[in-house]
Amino acid sequence: MNDATARAVERMLAADPLWTETGTAGERIGLDRHTLLHAGPPFADPAEICPPILNAAAAALLFEGMAGSVEEARALVRSGAVTLRPAQDFGVVTPLAAVVSRSMWLHVVEDAGGSGARAYSPLNEGGGPALRFGIVSGAVVERLRLLHGAVGPALAGIGAVELRGIVREAMEQGDELHGRVGVASALLTETLVSRLGGTGEVCAFLKEAGQFFLNPWMAACKAVMLAADGVPGSALVTAAGGNGVRFGLRLSGMMGEGWASAPVAAPQGPDIGSPGSAPRPRLPAIGDSAVIDALGFGALALDAAPLLRAELGAAAETAIAAADRLLCADHPVHGRRVGLDARAVLLGGPVPPVCLAALHAAGEDGIVGRGLAWHPPSCHAEAVAAVDARSRAGFPDAPDRRA
């Protein structure tokens, strides 16, 4: 780790993410009605948009009342009348194929450590029909109406939620905080339900939403990364995600501009389906939840999740072995190494892994499996080259917002 990366890591270690409030994307980030936010790097052209994200965009436009049918909604996207943009360009992280539209409610996570960093994520839809699975149906739209008509407004009044204590306890009980978040979600749900009075439609939803912790945790990881952003010469990863076609990175020293991206393979691991059934085609890696692994949790923390480690087999052992060679420093609270150094990959280090669900490539069957995906090494080479070029050009350091 060079000196610039070390400075960025110091900012990362000082960050303290706190879920402070909930509000709509229109209110919190000024999102307009003709823009939808998606995971990963930008698409080169509307024709490149993968079927699951196109489906999610159609469901979002039906929810917003901007289209009367799925085909009309898809046509708005294909024509460019509705624009899809990378969520992380707005400080937002969104899971799998989920898109964010103006009326959708977001978790707001701020760095209480003083950097001023703020990140956002949409509410988790729970199991069953869900936008993040990349399917479009009446049931998905109805779930959006419940989530954003009742759950979001209810959460707006619960006050701040401290996440780091939940993280510590959940990891002690077998969560690695990406592929497994069951313990963390139960702990968070207990807090939320208590503050909401314990009964009613919203509490019933939360009690059944077994992965509800994942989305505010994604925003927490992103807020920590943003606290470390803007150090020239730093190769610390501050953005990571896949769009179902390409995987992208941004480093602290890229000063919040541009993406380094490359085509990416699908997650490899166990299939979901009837025993003996033929494997269904998997979409290339998708989702901004890759920020969790890039921070040092998820695939790089599988040693904390023995059940998931056993399920993923030899690939999990490869991921665990990569952690010490890729991550920068011990976290003072979590007691684990954090911070992904892109230069370590170029210097002969292992390829960074990500724990991900696998979506059906055609956008028809939702989740078809789970497993590990791996960063394309060329992303790291391109990103480091961009950082070095900016440093040679003499761009000034971004101010440390703690000063």
Q: Which domains does the chain have, with CATH numbers?
A: 14-219 (3.90.1710.10), 230-393 (3.90.1700.10)
* Residues contacting 241, CB < 8 A, separation 6+: 39, 40, 41, 86, 87, 88, 93, 247, 248, 287, 288, 289, 290, 291
Are 127 and 164 in contact, with CB atoms under 8 Å apart? no
Query: What pLDDT is stored for residue 400 in this prediction?
Result: 46
Alpha helices in 21-179 (DSSP H): 25-29, 51-64, 70-79, 138-146, 152-155, 164-172
* Residues contacting 157, CB < 8 A, separation 6+: none
Residue 339 phi, psi (nearest 5): 90, 110
Residue 210 phi, psi (nearest 5): -70, -10
Query: What pLDDT is stored for residue 114 in this prediction?
Result: 87
d(CA 249, CA 212): 26
Question: Are β-strands 161-162 and 17-24 bridged in parallel, bridged antiparallel, or unpaired?
Answer: antiparallel
d(CA 331, CA 221): 13
Query: What pLDDT is stored for residue 395 in this prediction?
Result: 60
Q: How far apart are the first and last CA of the chain?
A: 23
Q: Which residue has the tokens 């393979």?
A: 265
394: left (phi over 0), alpha (psi -120 to 50) or beta: left
CA distances 253 to 12, 66, 259, Å, are 14, 39, 12
* Residues contacting 294, CB < 8 A, separation 6+: 221, 225, 237, 240, 340, 352, 354
Query: What pLDDT is stored for residue 340 in this prediction?
Result: 96
**Strand (E) or helix (H) holding 320:** helix 314-326
* Residues contacting 50, CB < 8 A, separation 6+: 97, 134, 243, 244, 245, 283, 284, 286, 361, 363
Are 108 and 28 in contact, with CB atoms under 8 Å apart? yes
pLDDT digits (tens, 9 = 90+) for 203-244: 999 999 889 999 999 999 999 999 999 999 999 999 999 999
Residues of the chain with pLDDT under 50: 398-403
pTM: 0.94
* Residues contacting 347, CB < 8 A, separation 6+: none
Give the residue among 139, 165, 142 at the shortest CA–CA distance from 19. Answer: 165
At 325 the three-state DSSP class reads: helix
